[in-house]
Amino acid sequence: MYGNQKKARICYQASVPLVNKPMAEIKKNRGREGHLEIRTVRKEEEDNSSKDRENVKRPIPHEEVEEIPFKLKNVERTFKVGTKLSDAHKEALISLIGEFEDVFAWGPEDMPVVDPEVAIHRLHVDSMFVPIKQRKRTFSDEKNMTIRSEVETLLKAKVIHELQFPEWVANVVLVK
């Protein structure tokens, strides 16, 4: 399935204002049949999708957020809530998080072991094709430190384990 990032962004921007509107205002704006008005993507907008990505307007939150300090398992954590949230709702949210603190995974080490049948991804490669070995690439010292720390974190959490191959298999891909 292929998607169009431009169309997805337009749909997202169209739906963001609905999140913070009161339900009475949304119901008032509904049509006779009870459906919300849907914005459609015009042909010009679709044609402009190949333009420079830096000119794209990014949606911004409708309200300010504040960080709430919270202590879980003797470790200080923070989470963000909207400033327009009432004090009663904030207290209810904090107590709910405290009640279900064992559910939250703050890092890879907090996650339980996932069944390999669910988590393993195998590529269906035709055995008739000859595998092509990637040229080994070198990274800067900063990127090597980042790679090393990420690998150590995943090794400690037992998400990955080391395997030995007779030759170079693939390069690391850094994702920000």
Averaged in consecutive runs of 10 residues, what is the pLDDT profile of the chain (176 residues)? 75 64 50 47 47 62 79 74 86 84 73 73 79 83 92 85 76 77
pLDDT at 130: 80
Task: Name the β-bridge partners of 80.
Answer: 67
Q: 73 CB contacts (<8 Å, ≥6 apart)?
A: 101
pLDDT at 45: 46
pLDDT at 20: 46
pLDDT at 78: 81
Q: 43 CB contacts (<8 Å, ≥6 apart)?
A: none
Picking from 43, 56, 40, the residue whose alpha carbon sits closest to that of residue 5 is 56
pLDDT at 38: 45
Q: 61 CB contacts (<8 Å, ≥6 apart)?
A: 82
pLDDT at 72: 66
**DSSP codes of every residue in 87-143:** HHHHHHHHHHHHHTGGG--SSGGGSPPPPHHHH-------TTSPP-PPPP----HHH
